[in-house]
Amino acid sequence: MDRILSYFDMLPWFPENTSTFGGELDSLFAIIYWISVGIFFLTFGIMGYFLVKYRYDRNRRGYNYHGNNVVELTWTVLPTILFAFIGLYSDDIWERTKYSSRLPKADVQVLVMGKQFGWQFLYPGADGQYGRNAYTHRDECRKLITALNPFGIDSTDPNSMDDFTTENQFKVPVNANIVMHGSSQDVLHSFFLPHARVKQDVVPGTWMNIWYNIFKTGKFELACAELCGGGHYSMRAEYEVLSKSAYDAWVDKKVAEAIAARSPQPAVAPQADTATVASLTK
């Protein structure tokens, strides 16, 4: 039986799951999938049987029967119960993964800004506090947004001294609640981490909550899932999930670089880290 079922099992096509809620989403998919396989065989079985059994025979007539309300009621109520179950169960998971009120306490915060065609990230640095920028002070700092200062950072704010940016790559610690706030500087993009089962459109002018907690270290990919122009396909970034100590070391290094770059001339916007991304293939 297991072997027969395995022929219909499409689930192994999923990329490996790496996030805490990803397992839940996958098992919900599996529940709906196996219910669907059941309904598929039920309906196709009935249909195939009828098509063979009641195929044309010149000596027979179709049965004049207009239907029966008890039968209609049965096949109205049964699917209602089944689908209500799917709906309520789904909603429970939906509330836990997406509701703003269920946003977990952040261990690490990052701002992400999509652009045609790439991803930019802003880390709050060692103090864990952003300086004034378009996320913390939308009204004042949005007008500072330019192609070179996508986050609208106000560099006169001392808190922004240790804020640092990266482009097309980011790093996060393992087993920590990462809370990102995402936006876009031009058109719609969608922040898609296939392995972590994360997807959230980012919309210019608004900040979206994105959170996840990854339990596996390694290098993974970030893709854009919303058509954003000709270069949509190439809007790829890489991220690395590091152990806590390796992550802290990386942050310290980036903070030092950011401060060094800004010290002589504090009024200039921070330089983005534009290192090109090497392919993951070894």
Least spacing, CB of residue 234 vs another protein, in Å: 6
Nearer to another protein, 56 or 265 (CB): 56
Least spacing, CB of residue 36 vs another protein, in Å: 4
Sheet architecture: strand order including 169-173 = 169-173, 237-242, 218-224, 189-193, 198-202
Cis ω for the linkage preceding 117 (within 30 of 0): yes
Nearer to another protein, 44 or 158 (CB): 44
Distance, in Å, from the CA atom of 182 to the CA atom of 172, rounded to the nearest integer, reads: 16
Nearer to another protein, 89 or 268 (CB): 89
Least spacing, CB of residue 21 vs another protein, in Å: 8
Amino acid at 205: G
Distance, in Å, from the CA atom of 186 to the CA atom of 189, rounded to the nearest integer, reads: 9
Coil vs helix vs strand at 208: strand
Provide the token pair at 90.
């789904």
Distance, in Å, from the CA atom of 260 to the CA atom of 171, rounded to the nearest integer, reads: 21
Nearer to another protein, 136 or 190 (CB): 190
Distance, in Å, from the CA atom of 27 to the CA atom of 22, rounded to the nearest integer, reads: 9
Nearer to another protein, 3 or 61 (CB): 61
Distance, in Å, from the CA atom of 281 to the CA atom of 229, rounded to the nearest integer, reads: 27
Least spacing, CB of residue 272 vs another protein, in Å: 14
Coil vs helix vs strand at 193: strand
Cα–chain center distance at 238 = 14
Least spacing, CB of residue 6 vs another protein, in Å: 15
Coil vs helix vs strand at 67: coil
Least spacing, CB of residue 244 vs another protein, in Å: 26
| Residue 169 per-residue DSSP state | E
CB distance 127 to 95 below 8 Å: no
Distance, in Å, from the CA atom of 270 to the CA atom of 190, rounded to the nearest integer, reads: 25
Least spacing, CB of residue 251 vs another protein, in Å: 26
Tally Cβ neighbours within 10 Å of residue 165. Answer: 23
Least spacing, CB of residue 99 vs another protein, in Å: 5
